[in-house]
């Protein structure tokens, strides 16, 4: 069976750096941090009192006011990102074969805010009184369902859940469905809205979050010796993947081509990555093999890089082992230093960033590194693209995401050429 080539024809995003892809991208290449004090709830008694929240998001720009109340915030964000991506494709939805268009959209947690709201109102003495929208607002697959219903897409429709790797899994699944000929077009991506009492409280209890409350914008500092945990973020990103023949037949603009995806498991620890990066090594090797390219063909890696002591170090060990001497010719950056960690939406957001890097030949930076804050276990001869975006030819970009439970996923995009 001959596999179809798969291209990216639409992009959408709602992030702590801006509403829309272009606003997000502009902030990224200018090294802007999206972190600030938490406003979505009173965090004054929490160990961590800051996060990367979205500013100025109005769900009624995408949904009727009455409908918006039936959606958890994560699903509202998903719909907003998907709408931008679908409109970006300029596809004629009146004439399109909607049986051949699908939606594969991820969330690591789903509607945690809706769960909180309902459970906080529950009074065991009065008996159960729950909203009929409680379950539909909470479940992690509902964003994919909402998008398909809004547009009447009848193709493959489901969610992927693999913690922080969730939306990279979604992109890889979409890639496979299209290249196998099971759909002409898939709207894929991920959304997360975890800035909540349970979200921040739960990750604080695990000692996973930075507690640098006096300096939120500099708290996410991947590859620095003083890194003390990740900064939680919320957001959504969407990509439209389409078979090349379908895109060319309708004269679509093409951002980039998806050429491979890899999966692996650490099979090591509940939350920690393998200290020697064994799972990370395997997932990158699998992605390269699937793409049919050599390590030397990669120009840029958007790393998982969460600003945690163990995770950052193990990923760098893995990159050096997989790429050898070529690791020193790569650009590496952690855009989580700006967006925060979007959990189940991180992979799609960073895949979108890789597409933009390939399109524009610009690598966004890893911000917040200062001289004198070097970790003796990290090799700073590698190009971490510290503090300033770098112009260079980016023909091939790889994005890594690793999730609690040892779930690893990597996806590779390249410049499109006929």
CA distance 162 to 158: 13
Collect all residues with Cβ–Cβ distance below 8 Å to 266 and sequence separation of at least 6: 273, 274, 278, 279, 402, 406, 408
CA distance 269 to 90: 45
Displacement of CA 265 from its chain's centroid (Å)? 19
3-state SS assignment for residue 37 = strand
Residues in the chain: 418
Angle formed by the axes of helices 21-29 and 346-360, nearest 10°: 70
**Residue 399 is inside which H or E element, if any?**
strand 396-403
Which residues participate in catalysis according to the annotation? 164, 304, 341
Asked if 211 and 47 count as a contact pair (C-beta separation under 8 A), the reply is yes
3-state SS assignment for residue 114 = helix
Displacement of CA 200 from its chain's centroid (Å)? 19
CB count in 10 Å sphere of residue 131: 14
Asked if 207 and 38 count as a contact pair (C-beta separation under 8 A), the reply is no
CA distance 379 to 44: 38
The token duo for 175 is 């890639």
């Amino acid at each position: 069976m001959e596999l179809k080539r798969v291209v990216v024809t639409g992009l959408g995003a709602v992030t702590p750096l801006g509403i829309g892809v272009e606003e997000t991208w502009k902030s990224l290449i200018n090294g802007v941090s999206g972190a600030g004090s938490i406003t979505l709830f009173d965090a004054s008694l929490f160990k961590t009192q800051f996060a990367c929240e979205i500013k100025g998001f109005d769900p009624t720009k995408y949904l009727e006011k009455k409908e918006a109340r039936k959606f958890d915030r994560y699903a509202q964000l998903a719909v907003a990102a998907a709408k931008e991506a679908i409109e970006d494709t300029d596809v004629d939805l009146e004439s399109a074969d909607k049986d051949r268009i699908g939606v594969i959209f991820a969330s690591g947690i789903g509607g945690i805010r809706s769960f909180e709201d309902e459970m906080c109102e529950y009074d065991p003495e009065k008996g159960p009184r729950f909203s009929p929208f409680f379950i539909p607002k909470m479940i992690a697959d509902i964003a994919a369902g909402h998008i398909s219903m809004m547009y009447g897409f009848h193709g493959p429709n489901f969610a992927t859940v693999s913690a922080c790797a969730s939306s990279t899994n979604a992109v890889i699944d979409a890639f496979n469905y299209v290249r196998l000929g099971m759909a002409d077009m898939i709207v894929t991506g991920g959304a997360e809205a975890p800035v909540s009492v349970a979200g921040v409280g739960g990750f604080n209890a695990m000692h996973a979050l930075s507690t640098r409350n006096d300096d939120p914008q500099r708290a996410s500092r991947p590859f620095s010796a003083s890194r003390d945990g990740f900064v939680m973020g919320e957001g959504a990103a969407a990509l439209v993947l389409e078979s090349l023949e379908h895109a060319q037949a309708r004269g679509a603009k093409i951002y980039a081509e998806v050429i491979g995806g890899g999966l692996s498991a650490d099979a090591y620890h509940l939350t920690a990555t393998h200290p020697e990066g064994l799972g990370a090594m395997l997932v990158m090797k699998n992605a390269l093999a699937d793409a049919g390219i050599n390590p030397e063909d990669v120009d840029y890696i958007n790393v998982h890089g969460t600003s945690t002591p163990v995770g950052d170090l193990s990923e760098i060990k893995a990159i050096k082992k997989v790429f050898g001497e070529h690791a020193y010719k790569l650009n590496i950056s952690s855009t989580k230093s700006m967006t925060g960690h979007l959990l189940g939406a991180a992979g799609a957001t960073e895949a979108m960033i890789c597409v933009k890097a390939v399109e524009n030949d610009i690598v966004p930076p890893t911000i917040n590194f200062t001289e004198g804050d070097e970790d003796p276990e990290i090799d700073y001869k590698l190009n971490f693209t510290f503090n300033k975006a770098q112009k260079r030819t980016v023909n091939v970009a790889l994005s890594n995401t690793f999730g609690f439970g040892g779930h690893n996923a990597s996806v590779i995009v390249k410049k499109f050429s006929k």
